[in-house]
Structure 1
């Protein structure tokens, strides 16, 4: 299909139109000329003439290729001096064609027989979209006949049906077709749901929708079908690499939620994750969202777009819209995938022979046990995990009632033994049209899930370090690692621990929308988000004796069984009330939104444990344990927010655009004197392609320049940071007698206030070559001030964690975003798409704690390895610089200070050489340097797809570059008897290998240095999917609407330099306040350290989509 649109066309005219059951093709651009089309001896092709007329008159023609191909205009015809309508009246009737003018920019060419005929039953009505806007150009046809018509610019239509029992078919490319039985009626009004093509042009913004061409801010959109084609379990996994400015860091752990960064790291302490809005429900966790329910995800990236959400928008906003019903007969769909996943990048450890060779240098006095084994500990704990999803949905409705229902089941076995995630979801979205101007919408979702955890921290650490000369198990007894550093048998750790989580989540929104006049909408919405968690951790009793181990001894034992139970419940309700005025006055489009919202969150967390609980699962209750061993803890949280918001959208001649918004938030998380935050924003746009001076240019079909500014806030902190709390249990002596008392538990800051981010955004959007080439360029500058940080204070002040939370930081994120896409239809059966996006981001701390840096990120015995300081990115690596290996004693003797003294006098040949950065002749902490950051300098995505007849193929690539990863697991050593990687075992320095860049041994006391710092750059084939949709003729014979089968693979290959599991690292120490629901939060201050990551997995799956 081809497209020719004038530069001043409105966005909805970008949609192709449907005539009868035929596909529509648009006339392609041709070189503009003043004279009439040149004639050959046989005439001029009709397609060429229409192309010429479209160019000359700045209009578009919509027609079926089959209508015009092969038809000629007589060579004698001369169009010179004739108006457009005169030319069409002359050339079309002889070809049994006619035209209909839809508006000033669009004409539809159709067969003469597609007319309103005078037969028995006159029918009329109006066609609108989901937002109540009239839809022109919709084809309305009597099913099985050629009788039909096209809706007018105001959406109205009339036709004469042969009788009152026929079925009307409403079709419009870009919208889902509908078949509606007439059933004796003479008036049929239809609401058409946008299909995927329209969703590319209309985006969801806060509290409403806008045409993409009218946006003055930066918003990225991803269609649901682009997510569901991948074997992913969370929505954010599916958008990786698809939106510029959005970085997704995935984990291979079942049931986990990927970390998302929108335009860089947005906070040091107050959480850097975006806000998620699911059908109006505000949440921080979307693991309960079934990807099969998603229509579109819209990411509000800049401050002017996100400011309408005020307090919670500092890190961007992700709006998820789920499916709704559509009028017509009930449609039943079944979708499934089944496959398996495996570790994508496995670290190869030394085998028994390599290990013994290494020990001969590192620990020559250690005796190798006589087991004659070469254990691969990773093989012992890893497996191929089975994965399956099943979804069945029902959708349909009438003019009065629309419904959508979906039930889904997911099983995801992790690649670590016993690790598993099961999830069952239900979604029901219903819409009741109570009256012409009153409707009720109720949206409800429920999830129940079970997770079987494993102790990753202990298991991965032990698996990496465990000696290969020890067997996993023999004769029912475990191999004992006591003689090799007491590392611990990781298989025993899995077998002797049982950790299960059950969670239930309920989300619901109901709103009533009333339109007293056509241009006014009043909406009141109530949303509830409830979650319940129940976790049991049971540790089996086992002793370090010969009943458990091949050889007794060591410290891997649990003399008493233990049971820990955790219960948590959270409730979050939100009340939204908005009024919207929308009207067009001549060339002026005006939309005004005003609203009030109120929110309250409450959460409770209780943890209790006992020892000596019987091992029978039926007796895993605290009451069964030893009451004298009881311990418990509890936490609670409660906060409220109230907000007033307003937004104005104005467009003049669809050419000059203005958006202004304001929000006032009051949050109980701050002291009363600092409780209110004010968040204004403004954006302007200029559609240059609508200007007269652009009419003669041939490069751009559409060109828009926009700019915006906005202020947003962040209150994602604990609720009691400014409230003094007292703790009992203080013991003090008066006159030699102990007395119990109460003390202040920590130091609080009564002057806490908002983190505030101001952002400037400039963007250019364009399309060219018949709108087949589209692109977008953005520059942004985000400046965060009053950033919340934890400042270290002297212990003598009495604060137990020696940290004081205050507004003491500022930083910036500056960057460029580039998006480009080429989309073309070669024929009705063949189309393809190629696109990509590229993001450059620079994060820099501009002020911090009066110049005092923050140290974080300890690894083993190496101390802090990250530092956040002015002039550098958040969480930069601050370590010694390794300059290779001392090849011999002469190299050690030659490394001297200005006084001729050895700088590393205790070094031996084969040890690492460290740079004396401050040139004082001594290697110590004063020689540490800034050596990079976990934050990439740029990241990118490449997407391609092709459809040929029923076959389809898609490829998604993703990568980033310029970041660093600290190989913490290699540095995390306590004994020289720990195992080493095979590559190191073969290439480390030895007297016969003096040129090696690896040291002779990896000792427990090695300082943090650039030796352990590696490149985090990578390039990955994120997804490849090959599918086939069965022919329509076959579907009609077997009474199915559609059947599609496909093969798909996730993370098929990765090109990387990092020697660890995965360069996708965000944090070694998740930030949590104890609540299960916040365990995915990560600390940007100590990110990029690989300690115990869940390895990235590769997935292979087969899928089936069936629609009845």
Structure 2
């Protein structure tokens, strides 16, 4: 390289100093021989080490060759990713050398000045986490100096300290820093604890990471170990109650995915689920993710944080980071749980005595079967289900190659007979360091799963309504409930249907990352998400005669066997290209991200059915059935997206923070004139605790005020909804002659565009009481416009029962979030934690289809129950207001209008009394009221934990309040012989026992009213865990790193008012037709109606964690 004149003269002046360099020098009147410690074997020569450093950092060293001749660095030396100055500060002082920086590209090596020479004190030791795992990359620095090093892959370190009384500072991201005075010691073993304040923790944001203290948006984080301590099968179930602003609605069905709502219901039609990002793979379904593979889950709640994902971020973003390898010898872990599940709460139905008493009033002329039984139909269909998980993982690597591999198996028997879910997963995450500035990362996972379904809609309905006077089976034949004028036998429904689903999922990400300079990182990533579904439904033939039943009759039969086969395959690929610049200029910290992404999804669905297929499983193919009965259908979907994105993060003195981002999305799901969406966001933060005027106070250790604004979108709808389609086969007559033609099948909106959400967020974060108490307060205001809704087609234009999709709605979600967490360490053997979070949310429709409401949610003959209208929450109950029961005729006669006429002239004693809400003197549809919503006014989570020596104990609670549930199964009545709940049988109105609360009979034609509406509030002990870890001295004797055994229970008890199975409800079966992959899509317009839910379950399990 060319040297300028100033550099040339500098070298000429400094190099002669090297001519007097000797291996023996004099200091303070003593002869001191300086050499590498005997405990540090000689490694590479100093010359070769300097050559490598020069190439790595693109600089030159100037030195006298005789000065460094024969000198070497310790064999354990590794530059790693440390700064050049830190490396030189480690290797030169023990050799009595020092350096001087001339300019950006030139360093001069010279002898250490005599007044700077000290006797180096070699210090060694190790750094581990609280579980005994080595921590590589921990920075160890001599306090007040630039002398330092980092821990090696096995956690060990060596350091030459100036003297034996200095203080060493140990620091590592995500852990509390420690200061250790040497006090003459030369061996130091340190155990680092996870950061108490959590401010130093790194959270994953879109296309990057940030320290939590630097965030200007609202992001909630949950560590993987908080999820795996629970006997849950899906990641989202494990974060229930752990993050403010995130509502989790679980189901007891094996293989189901909980519903997740981030800051309220985010859409009426376009899906309200968040976007999931798993190691860069964007997906809507994470049932294939093994919880044992998860390092962390970061939930981007506000628009400014999520806007970097643009059109897919309207409902929040959940980023899942999986485990990766680490340098060091291979670590083998085995984790397992085994236990059983049972129904957490059952509805108590009337026994035979209560039922017969009820029939005397409801159907006095019915002939009672002579079986003399009292059947508990729930006992007949339910069981205790066995549950087990097993995971084996391998972790390790070197400086060039890191690997993580895990294989996991799960068995989950449902509480309904024959219902079962089996899953096998594999994950392999590998990182190859091709060069110091170039790496290749490959991450992939594979899942294969089998689900044995049951017909929940038919089974639960029939079990609830089945008459207890009919036996399940006798002498190998089924009790014929249908012949009694009742519903079908639910046990026969299970036995005579076989419904199996096989899934195969492959997800993978591969990226190349290159850093041409220290401040720039270029990454190109390709992600693939493939899914394959094979579903087979076989219905056995059976007749309603005595070959099947104890008695003939009824309508429960299948005269021909049926076989339906479903095949679905989907492929989604994403190509991401990003460039990141990060540099600190004095007090200024700047990070700039820019990128381009492209995505394509293709999906195919095919379904075929034939009848009279033989009952042998070996012949369950369509070709084996009657070809004249063949039916088939198919669907397809394909869409693409292209996006550009950018983000800027700026911090001044770690005190003033700024984040600005922008994304432009183009989606093929909309017409060309509306395909592009622009999603900007900005956030600012002010760390008040770093201001000078805060330096004297002792209340807050950290205090930050932040605010943000952002715009995000939602295009989660079917493709091509704006394209007109036609039906063939339409006959037209010309000149009296029929001509085959095509007719339009429906009306489409050619101006269709995506939903847009703008959100304002203000937050306050703090730590106090010596970082023992951490808190956060947030206020948010989300406004969604151009909401997609289904609008009835005017009768003049077509079928008024059909709808077309258009942008005709708007609504808001406003709320407060509060989080507090206390952590304290009483001694080295005892620490504890206690905390919780609370969220208030108000959802309100602000505009809808020119004021026309949306009606949904029918139950039996009661018609629509839910209505979405301006001024009310989405999916509110719109029903009659029942105000008790007419105890006698006098009360009926007294209930009159202003003209003295009876308001309910046809009522009888024991009937429900309905409020004349509009005051017109009669009960009409105009008297229906908005009676509440399924959306809670607030929800919360509470956690507590204690660790004493080797024992750990934790509790997690979850609940919500202010919402309502419509007890649809109680209202859903077809036959007068249907069974009733025991409480109603005992408390209903009777002539000799008048009741003012429960009517005389429950009839099919009863209107929807508040009588069937109940409180959905509940408080639940979500998880309790007690664990014991073997002591470290014992582990060392048996050559193991960790052995922990624990007992755990999920959903141990629930305090609730709801009389049904559970205040949490979710659809449990895939759709009977159409794409299986959309099975968990639940409509917010008709939620909160309990009709056929899968009961919530209680789990008891024992677990084992072993690490070699």
Q: Structure 2 vs 1, CA of residues 196 and 287 (structure 1 numbering), >3 Å: closer, same or farther?
A: farther
Q: Residues 409-424 of structure 1: matches in 2 within 5 Å? A: 409-424=409-424
Measured against aligned partners, the alpha-carbon deviations of 1:213-233 in whole angstroms (never above 9, x if no partner) come to 100000000000000000000
Aligned ranges for residues 177-576 of structure 1 at < 5 Å?
201-576=201-576
Matches within 5 A, 1:1021-1060: 1021-1060=1021-1060
State the secondary structure of the residue aligned to 2:693. helix
Determine the structure 1 residue equivalent to 2:606. Answer: 606
| SS at structure 2 position matched to 1:428 | strand
SS of residue in 2 equivalent to 1:797: coil
| In structure 2, distance between residues paired with 1:160 and 1:360 | 82
Distance in 2 of aligned mates of 1:397 and 1:767: 37
Aligned to 1:17: none
Q: 2:818·2:837 contact (CA, 8 Å) conserved in 1?
A: yes
Instruction: Give the Cα separation in 2 of the matches to 1:887 and 1:816.
Output: 45
1:770-828 superposed Cα distances (whole Å, 9 cap, x missing partner): 00000000000000000000011135533585101100000000000000000000111
1:1000-1027 CA-to-partner distances (Å, cap 9, x unmatched) read 1101110000000000000000000000
Q: Is the 8 A contact 1:1068 1:1091 kept in 2?
A: no
Task: Name 1:690's counterpart in structure 2.
Answer: 690
Q: Would you say 1:665 and 2:636 are equivalent positions?
A: no
Task: Work out whether residues 600 and 640 of structure 1, in 8 Å CA contact, stay in contact via their aligned partners in 2.
Answer: yes
Say whether the 8 Å CA contact 2:174–2:200 is kept in structure 1: no
Q: 1:141 aligns with which of 101, 124, 140?
A: 124
Summarize deviations over 1:45-104 as a string: whole Å, max 9, x none: xxxxxxxxxxxxxxxxxxxxxxxxxxxxxxxxxxxxxxxxxxxxxxxxxxxxxxxxxxxx
* Structure 2 residues not aligned, in runs of 5+: 1-70, 91-121, 129-137, 160-169, 177-190
Partner of 1:52: none
CA contact (8 A) 2:1068 2:1080 kept: no
For the 8 Å contact 2:127–2:155, the answer to whether it is kept is no
Q: Over aligned residue pairs, what C-alpha RMSD do you find?
A: 2.7
TM-score of the superposed pair, with normalisation by structure 2: 0.85
**Contact preservation (8 Å) 1:134, 1:155:** no
Structure 1 position 1062, deviation (Å)? 0.6
Q: Report how far residue 1068 of structure 1 moved.
A: 10
> Which residue in 2 is equivalent to 1:804?
804
CA contact (8 A) 2:139 2:171 kept: no
Deviates more, 1:819-828 or 1:200-209: 200-209
1:960/1:223 CA distance change after superposition, 3 Å: same
How many Å separate the matches in 2 of 1:233 and 1:974?
A: 37
- Partners of 1:1071 and 1:1081 within 8 A in 2: no
Which residue number in structure 2 is paired with residue 841 of structure 1? 841
Taking the aligned partners of 2:942 and 2:354, their CA distance within structure 1 comes to: 41
Shift of 1:201: 1.7
Alignment partner, residue 976 of structure 2? 976
SS in 1 for 2:998: coil
Deviation for aligned residue 1:899: 1.3
Partner of 2:652 in structure 1? 652
- 8 Å contact from structure 1 (residues 819, 836) kept in 2: yes
Give the TM-score, by structure 1 length: 0.85
Distance 1:523 1:904 in 2: 73
- Between the aligned partners of 2:939 and 2:150, the Cα distance in structure 1 is 55
Shift of 1:922: 1.6
Cα 1:446–1:200 shift into 2, 3 Å: farther
Cα distance between partner residues in 1 of 2:194 and 2:1063 = 37
| Kept after mapping to 2: 8 A contact 1:1068/1:1086 | no
Aligned 8 A contact 1:217 1:706 in 2? yes
Contact kept, 8 Å, 2:253 with 2:1068, in 1: the verdict is: no
Q: Do the aligned residues in 1 keep the contact of 2:140 with 2:151 (CA within 8 Å)? A: no
The Cα shift of 1:994 comes to 1.9
Further displaced range: 333-342 or 801-810: 801-810
Give per-residue Cα distances to partners, 1:328-357, cap 9 Å, x unaligned: 000000000000000001000000000000
Residue 861 of structure 1 corresponds to 861
How far is the alpha carbon of 1:172 from its aligned partner?
6.1
Query: Structure 1: which 5+ runs fail to align?
Result: 1-117, 178-191
Would the alpha carbon gap of residues 159 and 1027 (structure 1) be closer, same or farther in structure 2, given more than 3 Å must change? closer
Provide the rounded CA distance (Å) in 1 between the counterparts of 2:86 and 2:213.
16
Preserved CA contact (<8 Å) 1:464 1:979: yes
Paired with 1:876 and 1:160, the residues of 2 have a C-alpha distance of 59
TM alignment of 1:809-848, pairs within 5 A: 809-848=809-848
Report what 2:117 is aligned to.
none
Question: For residues 862 and 923 of structure 1, what CA distance do their matches in structure 2 show?
Answer: 15
CA–CA separation in structure 1 for the residues paired with 2:158 and 2:770: 30
Aligned equivalents of 2:237 and 2:988: distance in 1?
A: 39
Name the CA distance, whole Å, in 1 between partners of 2:744 and 2:1093: 38
SS of equivalent to 2:579: strand
Hey, what does 1:41 align to over in structure 2? none
Q: Report SS of the residue matched to 2:306.
A: helix
Deviation at 1:143, TM superposition (A): 6.8
CA distance in 1, matches of 2:773, 2:474: 65
Q: Can you list the C-alpha shifts for 1:424-477, whole angstroms capped at 9, x where unaligned?
A: 000000000100000000000000000000000000000000000000000111
Q: CA deviation at 1:724?
A: 1.1
How far apart, CA to CA, are the structure 1 residues paired with 2:126 and 2:320?
36
Q: Which residue of 1 aligns with 2:1002?
A: 1002
How far apart in 1 are the matches of 2:244 and 2:538? 45
**1:958 to partner: Cα distance:** 0.2
**C-alpha separation between the residues in 2 aligned to 1:449 and 1:932?**
40
Cα distance in structure 1, aligned partners of 2:147 and 2:829: 32
Q: Distance in 1 between matches of 2:771 and 2:826?
A: 14
> Structure 2 CA distance, aligned partners of 1:1102 and 1:364?
53
Residue 901 of structure 1: how far off its partner (Å)? 1.1
TM-superposition CA deviations, 1:620-650 (whole Å, max 9, x none) = 0000000000000100000000000000000
| Residues 656 and 575 of structure 1, relative CA distance in 2, 3 Å threshold | same
Which moved further from structure 2: 1003-1012 or 790-799? 790-799
Q: Assess if the C-alpha contact under 8 Å between 2:87 and 2:149 holds in 1.
A: no
CA contact (8 A) 1:339 1:1100 kept: yes
C-alpha distance after superposition, 1:566-593 (max 9, x if no partner) = 0000000000000000000000000000
Residues of 2 paired with 1:618 and 1:176: CA distance? 59
CA shift for structure 1 position 735:
5.8
1:811-846: CA deviations, max 9, x gaps?
000000000000000111110000000000000000
Distance 2:280 2:194 in 1: 21
Q: Deviations over 1:247-285 (max 9, x none)?
A: 000000000000000000000000000000000000000
Which residue matches 1:1012? Answer: 1012
CA distance in 2, matches of 1:294, 1:540: 43
1:239 offset after TM fit, Å? Answer: 0.2
Q: Residue 878 of structure 1 contacts residue 928 of structure 1 at CA under 8 Å; is this kept in 2?
A: yes
Contact 2:661 2:682 in 1 (8 A): yes
Q: Which residue of 1 aligns with 2:636?
A: 636
Q: Is contact 2:200-2:213 (8 Å) kept?
A: no
CA distance in structure 1 between the partners assigned to 2:574 and 2:871 by the alignment: 41
Q: 1:174 to 1:214 in 2, by over 3 A?
A: closer
